């Protein structure tokens, strides 16, 4: 894998070309494939987390329907960039009112990040979906279907995507590793997957970044690229805290944040994961998880990172003394 590359060409190289190339989402693929095979699809709404194949499935649909002429019959709009009512009234309507080229009687408009459309734009889109059904089908993707107006949801078939399982992501990574001559140890893949949190797009980007340094992918190399708190460092912080050593725990925490440029929210997430590896009672783990949630909420609301994290360390010290969860705590 070359250090300097054209990202569009590289992404297209490994983008699934047909339904059989996609991993995960088997039930959704079956339903969509049967619709495409009949050369007739309804309006579709893809809802689910990022990096699980929503945009890729939309591309596969139009390529299966239109073949070589798919570009002339396909319009893609990213709603986070173009999300006003004028876009719906002009771009979308102008494209939707014209007939498709070829044997398929309709065109396809793909609205990516449709949950970023304003309410006014969604109201205008509702009428457009009704008026131009004979010449156009809409495929919309969103992270949260609750942000899409009910009238639009009722006009579309809602397909809910799930996070990709580890085995599904591994299929894609193994394909890339084989094609690019990479060596990925099992521990390195675990580190990649944990950092991606089920987002296949993120894990491919991380793999590209690490492979630009070395074709031998190791956990240490992945952690260097990810720039997140190492579990071993967080464990030292928590061990100090549970033993009652507040000063050393605080100093180690500040060392992690300042020297490695780790944000407070990233530290909170790392602490939350590491809590469940501590040799303490499960009931205590639950209470400490609650404390990390409170600290994370305060950080999101704008509180000072260092003060909140020091308070969280204090909670762990109380846990070591048996005080967390008591009335005094």
Residues 6+ apart with CB under 8 A from 165: 24
Q: Which residue spans of the chain are classified as CATH 1.10.8.60?
A: 166-226
What's the pLDDT at 326?
44
Residues, the chain: 329
Superfamily of domain covering 25-160: P-loop containing nucleotide triphosphate hydrolases (3.40.50.300)
pLDDT at 196: 79
Q: Where in the chain is the domain with CATH 1.20.272.10?
A: 231-320
Exposure letters 119-149 (e unless 16+ CB within 10 A, then b): eebbebbbebbeebeeebbbbbbbbebeebe
pLDDT in tens, 299-318: 888 888 888 888 999 988 88
Over residues 79-92, the mean pLDDT reads 69
Per-residue HEC secondary structure of 112-149 comes to ECHHHCCHHHHHHHHHHHHHCCCCEEEEEEECCHHHCC
DSSP symbols for 258-304 = HHTT--HHHHHHHHHHHHTTSSS-HHHHHHHHHHHHHHHHHHHTT--
Q: What is the largest CA-CA distance in the chain?
A: 74
Predicted pLDDT at 327: 41
Read off the pLDDT of residues 260-299 as tens digits, 9 standing for 90 and up.
Answer: 777 888 888 888 888 888 888 888 888 888 889 999 999 8
Three-state secondary structure of 169-199: HHHHHHHHHHHHCCEECHHHHHHHHHHHCCC
Q: So what's the pLDDT on residue 322?
A: 64
pLDDT in tens, 154-179: 999 999 998 888 888 888 888 888 88
Residue range 70-74: average pLDDT? 89
Q: Does domain 231-320 have CATH number 1.20.272.10?
A: yes
Q: Which CATH class is domain 166-226?
A: mainly alpha
Give the position of tokens 């809910």: 160
Is 30 in a helix, a strand, or coil?
Answer: helix
Bridge partner residues of 109 (DSSP)? 75, 138
Using the predicted structure, report yes or no on whether residue 12 has a pLDDT greater than 80: no
Mean pLDDT of the chain: 82
Q: How far apart are the first and last CA of the chain?
A: 54
Quote the pTM value: 0.72
Residue 281 has which token pair?
A: 């009672």
In the chain, CATH 3.40.50.300 covers 25-160
Task: Tell me the mean pLDDT in the region 90-111.
Answer: 85
pLDDT value for 3 = 39
């Amino acid at each position: 894998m070359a250090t300097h590359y054209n990202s569009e060409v590289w992404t297209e190289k490994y983008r699934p070309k047909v339904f059989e190339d996609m991993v995960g989402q088997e039930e959704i693929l079956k339903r969509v494939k049967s619709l495409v095979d009949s050369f007739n699809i309804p309006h579709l709404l893809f809802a689910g987390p990022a990096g699980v194949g929503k945009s890729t499935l939309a591309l596969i649909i139009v390529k299966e329907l239109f073949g070589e002429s798919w570009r002339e019959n396909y319009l893609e709009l990213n709603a986070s960039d173009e999300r006003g009512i004028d876009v719906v009234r002009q771009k979308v309507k102008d494209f939707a009112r014209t007939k498709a080229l070829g044997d398929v009687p309709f065109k396809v408009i793909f609205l990516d990040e449709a949950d970023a459309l304003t309410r006014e734009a969604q109201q205008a889109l509702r009428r457009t979906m009704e008026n131009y059904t004979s010449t156009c089908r809409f495929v919309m993707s969103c992270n949260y279907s609750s942000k899409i107006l009910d009238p639009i949801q009722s006009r579309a078939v809602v397909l809910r995507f799930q996070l990709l399982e580890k085995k599904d992501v591994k299929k894609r990574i193994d394909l890339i590793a084989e094609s690019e001559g990479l060596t990925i140890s099992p521990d390195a893949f675990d580190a990649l997957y944990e950092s991606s949190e089920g987002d296949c797009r993120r894990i491919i980007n991380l793999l590209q970044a690490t492979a630009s340094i070395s074709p031998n992918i190791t956990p240490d190399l992945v952690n260097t690229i990810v720039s997140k708190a190492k579990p071993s460092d967080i464990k030292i912080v928590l061990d100090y805290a549970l033993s009652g050593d507040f000063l050393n725990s605080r100093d180690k925490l500040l060392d992690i944040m300042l020297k490695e440029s780790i944000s407070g929210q990233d530290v909170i997430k790392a602490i939350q994961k590491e809590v469940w590896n501590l040799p303490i009672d499960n009931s205590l783990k639950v209470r400490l998880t609650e404390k990390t949630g409170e600290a994370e909420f305060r950080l999101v609301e704008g509180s000072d990172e260092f003060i909140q994290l020091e308070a969280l360390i204090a909670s762990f010290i109380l846990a070591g003394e048996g005080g967390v969860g008591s009335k005094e705590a």
